[in-house]
Structure 1
Amino acid sequence: MLVARLFALQPAGLVLRIRAGVGPARDAFLAALHDMLPPGMPVLRCPAHPTDEALLGGLDLPATLAAGRPVQRQGLIARAAGGVLLLASADRLPGDTASLLCGKLDSETPPGLVALDEGEADEDLPAVLLDRIALRVDLDALRPGRCDTGRDQLSLARGRLPSVRTPAPIADALCSAALSLGVMPMRATMLAGRIARMAAALAGHAEVDADDAALAAALVLSPRATTVPLPAEAPAPPPPPEAGPEQGEQNEAGPPDRTHMRDPEANNGHQAGRDEDQEAPPDDLRQTVLDAAAAMLPPHLLDGAAAPARGSASAAQGRAGAGAVLGTRGRPLTPRPGRPGQGSRLALVETLRHAAPWQKPRREAVARRTGEAASGRLLVQVSDLHVTRYSRRPRSTAIFLVDASGSAAMHRLAEAKGAIELLLGECYVRRDRVALLAFRGTGTELLLPPTGALARARRSLAALPGGGGTPVASGLDAAVELACQLRRLGETTLIVMLTDGRANVARDGTPGRARAEQDAQASAMRLRAAGLPALLVDISPRVQPHAQALATSMGARYLRLLQGEPERLSSAVRALAA
């Protein structure tokens, strides 16, 4: 109910995810949420498969034909402006429709979105909608019961919210917690800051305190965590001072209890506790917020953190469009009601099948209206139209980033080439394209643009020389740039990097190991922020921390290339590309 109150306080531009099947628990929660909203706020329900015209509005064809003049129909988004829009079966929402809805959240009067997720455990919402989620609640294990909606408290909080401010140490603590949890998108941190202000308004505070920030971190940042935060090292206790009579009495009484939990719904909190929070050192404040977020990590949340989710359109389609791209070519899907256009074609046979049973009553209606017998023409109405969409597998490109420096050539470059040969063959079988980048000396060279020609890729790989410095940052920047270009064209990408991780050339081409490692870490974090799936293959002869640290910064899966086991690399690439 706290989540419901936070959303109802100011829903404009927020996304609330409700994971629950159809049942009394969900109905009771939605009824309570509707009661918490301001009186008169519009609440509209969006169908499971809305068209762009239904969302944005357009020409109302039946009304236009009846009136003899253009009649415009207002879309759902415009009617829900400043209110709440309920997305039915959000797990089946196509990615393009989700992008359209989320784009309207940046308008001047955006609606609040309530995404009803009825999918299974292995299904998820479109990626663009997941990025916008501010609050979420799981009702599957709950039973409906009586609850206090707190309408009076919400009315007071709405008047208080515009004046609530966020101190700089609180904002710094939220940013620090996001980095420690591996939450890279800045939008998540901004949402956490907004939820913290709303929690402070509900609690009756003039500014956000540590408890408000901890609550926001637990609600917004914890579900997005990709790494487990490291435990804080306990500082060494200071040597006991020479205690006088008064100090000895204080020590016998024990230190004051600074740990207090405040009810976030209470309007009159402990003022003394708030003063202590404001005087707390910044490091303690950061740790408080981080501990609250870490305590709310769901079990098994980070089981798949080593294999980042694919940032592709195929992974963002939900259950209805997983692994497929809708268009006007490919495998035809089952015809469904709709109008041709926007990637769908008229299903003529299915349209005629639905129109045929209604010909006699339609001709009689025309005769009564015009006074003349209807001709033998087929009478088709908008409700008869059916369309066919087509699905095809999205094009995928594997980008091989090869370390061709002197250290790699001296160690295992030849063996790495042999492993890539096997991967090229598998990519050809799956009809995936491949690209080949090599970094050595002071920069990176694109040896092979994305292509499906297996023989050409093998020739480029065989002619790859070795020697020179190791510009890891330059190689990562080139791979990210190429992957982002391909992703903008609708392709999925996979980066396979083979290196020992020992950078000794900076991004600008100057030598120096310290500067080169800093640039490499920055480039690796950029790859991770872009959400690109990657595999780092360690080709060093002995286990060293450089490649492992680089893989962690990239958010990539780490794999050692053992001698005589190139099939292990092939299995890892297949698992990551699946």
Structure 2
Amino acid sequence: MAAAPAGPGSTAVPPGEAAWLNAADALALFAVDPHGLGGLHLRAGAGGVRDRWLADLKALLPADEPLRRLPGHIADERLLGGLDLPATLAHGKPVAQRGLLAEAHGGVVLVPMAERLSSGHAARLAAVLDSAEIGFERDGLSQRWPARLGVVAMDEGGPDDAALPPALRDRLALHADLCGCGLRDIAPLATSAAQVRDARALLPRVQVPDRVLQALCGTALQLGVSPLRASQHALRATRAAAALAGHETATEDDAMQAARLVLAPLATRLPPAPEDEAEPEAPPEPPENAAPEEPPEPPPEATTDAQPEPQALEDRIVEAAVASLPAGLLAALQGQFAASQAGRIGKLSASPRGGRPVGTRAGTPRGGARLNLVETLRAAAPWQALRRRAAAAQGRHQPIHVHADDLRISRLQQRAATATLFVLDASGSSALHRLGEAKGAIQLLLADCYVRRDEVGVIAFRGRKAELLLPPTRSLVRAKRCLAALPGGGGTPLALGLEAALRLASVVQRSGATPVVVLLTDGRANVTRSGENGRAQAETDALQMARQFRTARLTALVVDTSPQPAVAAQRLAAEMGGSYRALPHAGAAALSAAVQALPRPRAG
């Protein structure tokens, strides 16, 4: 085993070399028990470092074990198994064909660009990892194949990209990160294929003492690792580490290795600091003329074969796990949810002409729909023998008989564009408070929308009207120009601004895009929907319009431009069913992250 990487404050091992050593240790444990550990989550971009790691993986695995690569757009029939179309057409009866996962039984499946894996494929892969078999019942066939395998999910995403699908991530015990590792940091592999072979033979006999198991579970609790599966993975990793070291009974070092590779990457908090122990109080002085006390009996001598206390062992395992945490990991974990919910994309919707294939349906190719020839032949194949006899009786002879009921149309799905609609309060109160800063924040958000290829629209309301300054467009220059020329002053017709935003959002939805409304206001309305003055009625009209946002299920963010967080803006966000941010406490970067983190509606 390689040495443990240095902690965040240590300079003994450079960060890149420590990352490689950590990935090499994870590789060795995975090679010992691929299926028991489920798999390995490898964060690494394409390049020489990842290629070297994969070459070491191939060198450690037995030569007769399959090592298969999962294509990104693989069909379910090829993944799980299905009808063998050429054999079925040749024999005139259904013939089953094993899928890629069944072909990888007893080996390892590599998943490139795992962060882009669809939720459906991730769920199917997770189900196979759980059951170690594949069931196939379709097209008149019923088959079951064993599929005991391990998965290496290669995550090539950046900080702003989507995270690994949760269904797959929860089933991968080991984690390694090579993003900060260079070619100069690569070291020769300390584990050999012979050691892995011997460890596999020893693994069924490895035992884990109860005190070590308790310490692992306590470490998971202290680090905020809640899933029970993570503790089970840590136990399997401890047994693999012991087998690799040649131990039939797991030791403290084996548990530390497992905590560093399994639990530490999942940490959501640091363990609580121990409370300062209070100094013992001095015993009271005996009163005068008191009889002398007999000396206390000495405590029994400790035996040399006593086992360490479970709490002390847990503390040492926790320290080993915390020492392996890279600097800034916990801060990155806190922002992981916002990054995984990035707003670069709209909702998924069906598309007849373009998009990603998600299956087929029965139908005729009309209205731009595409005929799926392979699936059409697959539907017709089981009936060929019967149809040939019927055609021969009528004097017709042809090799393949396809009926109208066999026709299959490709089902395509694509993500709709996102249109971010900025609704700006340009009234006198906002101009007095933060109109200039609100314009600056919008300009920075506009640049972020341009990077995400979102369309942007701008609505401003002041005086007695709401005006569409910029219809949805991708022109960053036009958006900045209309903001720069926007004056401030007058009353606050908040209800009219919300009504204009609802109309524009409806237009965006009819065009197939997903609208996201960002409202910048202090929430203090004083002009009614009819254009008359009156604060009470104006606020009532504004809240009524806000409730229509919730009814329409529109995604909205209210940015409070008041000098201090205002109750009116908070209430407005609650009635809209949207999120709330206060501009004085959120810089442009925070607002950009807030817009990205807004939940997108799903396709119906």
The TM-score normalised by the length of structure 2 is 0.52
In structure 2, the gaps of 5 or more residues are: 1-23, 133-146, 282-303, 375-395, 419-494, 506-513, 517-542, 557-563, 574-578, 583-593, 600-604
Q: Does the alignment pair 1:113 with 2:131?
A: no
Q: Does the alignment pair 1:165 with 2:207?
A: yes
Matches within 5 A, 1:19-38: 19-38=43-62
User: Could you say which residue in structure 1 is the equivalent of 2:32?
Assistant: 9
User: Could you say which residue in structure 1 is the equivalent of 2:166?
Assistant: 127
**SS at the partner of 1:280?**
coil
Residue 293 (structure 1) shift: 1.3
Query: How many angstroms apart in 2 are the aligned matches of 1:163 and 1:48?
Result: 39
Contact persistence 2:515–2:555 (CA under 8 A): no
Matches within 5 A, 1:333-352: 334-335=354-355, 340-341=360-361
Residue 5 (structure 1) shift: 1.0
Q: Deviations over 1:87-140 (max 9, x none)?
A: 122121101110110111111452100112222232221121221221122334
Q: 1:281 aligns with which of 284, 304, 309?
A: 309
Contact persistence 1:55–1:77 (CA under 8 A): yes
Residue 150 (structure 1) shift: 1.2
Residue 57 (structure 1) shift: 0.7
Q: Deviations over 1:284-319 (max 9, x none)?
A: 111111111111222222225556737xxx958xx9
Matches within 5 A, 1:152-301: 152-233=194-275, 235=277, 279-301=307-329
Query: How many angstroms apart in 2 are the aligned matches of 1:345 and 1:184?
Result: 50
User: Could you say which residue in structure 2 is the equivalent of 1:139?
Assistant: 178
* Residues 166 and 324 of structure 1: CA distance in aligned 2, closer, same or farther (over 3 Å): farther
Residue 323 (structure 1) shift: 5.0
The one-letter code matched in structure 1 to 2:165 is P
* Residues 163 and 235 of structure 1: CA distance in aligned 2, closer, same or farther (over 3 Å): farther
Residue 191 (structure 1) shift: 0.7
Contact persistence 2:352–2:368 (CA under 8 A): no
**SS at the partner of 1:171?**
helix
User: Could you say which residue in structure 2 is the equivalent of 1:259?
Assistant: none
Residue 333 (structure 1) shift: 7.5
Query: How many angstroms apart in 1 are the aligned matches of 2:103 and 2:271?
Result: 44
Contact persistence 1:345–1:388 (CA under 8 A): no
Contact persistence 1:332–1:390 (CA under 8 A): no
Contact persistence 2:82–2:96 (CA under 8 A): yes
Residue 219 (structure 1) shift: 0.9
Matches within 5 A, 1:553-572: 566=570, 570-571=580-581
Q: Deviations over 1:195-216 (max 9, x none)?
A: 1111111122222222211211
User: Could you say which residue in structure 2 is the equivalent of 1:47?
Assistant: 71
* Residues 339 and 305 of structure 1: CA distance in aligned 2, closer, same or farther (over 3 Å): closer
* Residues 457 and 325 of structure 1: CA distance in aligned 2, closer, same or farther (over 3 Å): closer
**SS at the partner of 2:354?**
coil
Query: How many angstroms apart in 2 are the aligned matches of 1:133 and 1:346?
Result: 42
Residue 49 (structure 1) shift: 1.5
Residue 217 (structure 1) shift: 1.2
Query: How many angstroms apart in 2 are the aligned matches of 1:48 and 1:24?
Result: 21
**SS at the partner of 1:303?**
helix
**SS at the partner of 1:48?**
coil
Contact persistence 1:4–1:33 (CA under 8 A): yes
Contact persistence 2:355–2:414 (CA under 8 A): no
Of residues 287-296 and 63-72 in structure 1, the stretch that sits farther from structure 2 once superposed is 63-72
Q: Deviations over 1:469-509 (max 9, x none)?
A: xxxxxxxxxxxxxxxxxxxxxx9999xxxxxxxxxxxxxxx
* Residues 132 and 493 of structure 1: CA distance in aligned 2, closer, same or farther (over 3 Å): farther
Query: How many angstroms apart in 2 are the aligned matches of 1:135 and 1:294?
Result: 16
Q: Deviations over 1:147-175 (max 9, x none)?
A: 34412222221122112122222122111
Contact persistence 1:223–1:298 (CA under 8 A): no
Across the aligned residues of Structure 1 and Structure 2, the Cα RMSD in angstroms comes to: 5.0
**SS at the partner of 2:233?**
helix
User: Could you say which residue in structure 1 is the equivalent of 2:537?
Assistant: none
Aligned length, in residue pairs: 374
Q: Deviations over 1:340-363 (max 9, x none)?
A: 249x997985858999xxxxxxxx
Contact persistence 2:81–2:99 (CA under 8 A): yes
Q: 1:309 aligns with which of 326, 337, 358?
A: 337
Residue 50 (structure 1) shift: 1.7
Contact persistence 1:41–1:83 (CA under 8 A): yes
* Residues 349 and 136 of structure 1: CA distance in aligned 2, closer, same or farther (over 3 Å): same
Matches within 5 A, 1:478-489: none
Matches within 5 A, 1:502-521: none
The TM-score normalised by the length of structure 1 is 0.54
Contact persistence 2:199–2:246 (CA under 8 A): yes
Q: Does the alignment pair 1:64 with 2:103?
A: no
Query: How many angstroms apart in 1 are the aligned matches of 2:167 and 2:364?
Result: 27
Query: How many angstroms apart in 2 are the aligned matches of 1:42 and 1:106?
Result: 19
Query: How many angstroms apart in 2 are the aligned matches of 1:178 and 1:427?
Result: 48
**SS at the partner of 2:196?**
helix
Q: Larger C-alpha radius of gyration, 1 or 2?
A: 2
Query: How many angstroms apart in 2 are the aligned matches of 1:2 and 1:97?
Result: 29
Query: How many angstroms apart in 2 are the aligned matches of 1:345 and 1:15?
Result: 43
* Residues 53 and 199 of structure 1: CA distance in aligned 2, closer, same or farther (over 3 Å): same
**SS at the partner of 2:331?**
coil
Residue 228 (structure 1) shift: 2.2
The one-letter code matched in structure 2 to 1:32 is D
The one-letter code matched in structure 2 to 1:142 is G
* Aligned-pair identity (%): 37
Query: How many angstroms apart in 1 are the aligned matches of 2:79 and 2:68?
Result: 12
* Residues 354 and 132 of structure 1: CA distance in aligned 2, closer, same or farther (over 3 Å): closer
Contact persistence 1:333–1:390 (CA under 8 A): no
The one-letter code matched in structure 1 to 2:53 is F
Query: How many angstroms apart in 1 are the aligned matches of 2:188 and 2:211?
Result: 39
Residue 31 (structure 1) shift: 1.8
Contact persistence 1:126–1:315 (CA under 8 A): no
